[in-house]
Structure 1
Amino acid sequence: MAAQPLSSPTYTRTGPGAAAAHEALIRDHMPLVRRIAWHVHGSVSSSVEVEDLVQTGLVALVEAAGSFEDRGQVTFAQYLGTRIRGAMIDELRRQATITRGAMRRRREIAEAESALSVQLGRAPTDEELAFQLGVPTERLRQERDAAQPIRFEPIDGVYSDDNPWFMSDDPNPFELLESEDLRQALIEAIGRLSEREAQVIQLYYVEELNLEEIGLVLGVGAARVCQIKKSAHDRLKKALEARIG
């Protein structure tokens, strides 16, 4: 079951108590990071350790706490959930071709970066991180570069939301709902989708994951996700057209 977001307190970045409120926001949402880490770890076949995902999520938490703007549309926890999942999935990609020694060093760097981020309330500079690790700045950069994976471009990469040849021209079904009748029709149509189709629609439109990220969650290629998404779109479109008459 997917991790459920916590309710988020209102806070301000400036004024008296801003720093304390910022620290409290981070501290209150640390359990959410761990729950999402276990969920992502259990959803994909990977040798990555849960603690690696937790460290990645903590960095994303600090960054999210510093960048979130409350406009009344989503809560901080909802915004944070998307940021954490995206960061963890990116980490799974990066670690796919890294040696164990490099992974261990990356974990040490990530832990130091996470600790400094919480302490400073922002992402540390290379100089600050190097000082924390007790190494020269240039060596830190070399170790970080050496720990970067070799990038392979699978054929599934063709099925990307950023590729103009495969960008979906289908309108977001949720943007077409101008009446309660159509909203109800969509709800009923989604209820008739297969479990896999409903998952793809949820992850794409609600969780805002791209095709590759959905593939990692479901354990299939991006090309297959593209097929499932199109099938779901076709079925939803037919259901709405039938209701419109």
Structure 2
Amino acid sequence: MMVAASRRIDTSNFQERAADGLREMIISGELAPGQPLSEITLAEIFGISRTPIREALKQLQIEGLVEIRPRIGTFVTVPSRREINELFEMKQLLEGGAARLMAARGDIPELTAMKANVRAADAAVEAGDVERYSELVHEFHEILIAGADNGKLATHYRLLMNQLAYGRLVKTSLAQPGRSIESEHEHHTVLELIIAKDGIGAENCMRRHVHASQQALMSQLETWPPPLHTP
């Protein structure tokens, strides 16, 4: 029996690789909301059998990124407007708390990184480079979470960002005229309050910033949700 067991193929690594790859494709927007997911096609893309693909899709369903509809198919999840609003409400709480925690830590490496991020973002806004600025927005929020130095907060935040597919939504919110300039001004204010070690002020400002981003996003999603594809 030991010999037979040693010959078994461990598919856990294949499943993890597929889940990581699919997660990134969904978060980045490469796989659009409502897009059908074929096990056969995905198996060919990842060069593995359908079994680890099937298990990876089940894992992503638990994470809220994939919807498996029995006898119909598997699709990239399309969050409702209500779900997006609820996720942003949670984002306000987590990022507001992160700003307060970071402000209490004083002169830390993340503070230096945040200052550099804001300088780079200023240049991107001035140049009208929305693509670069959207990348720096994502980086700013990542620095904020790292600066909080709270593992539990970071874990919940990561799951939340995955469900929001935030990279795609940032670009959508920044499509609102003037939003990039407003957003960068809000980042400046948060940074100044963190430097001043004003935890409560930083938390409240960060929550207002997230709320403003939420409003900008929802104004751009007039046709949301998109229709769910069917075979």
With the length of structure 1 as denominator, give the TM-score of the two structures.
Answer: 0.29
**Which gives a bigger RCO, structure 1 or 2 (Cα 8 Å, sep 6+)?**
2
With the length of structure 2 as denominator, give the TM-score of the two structures.
Answer: 0.30
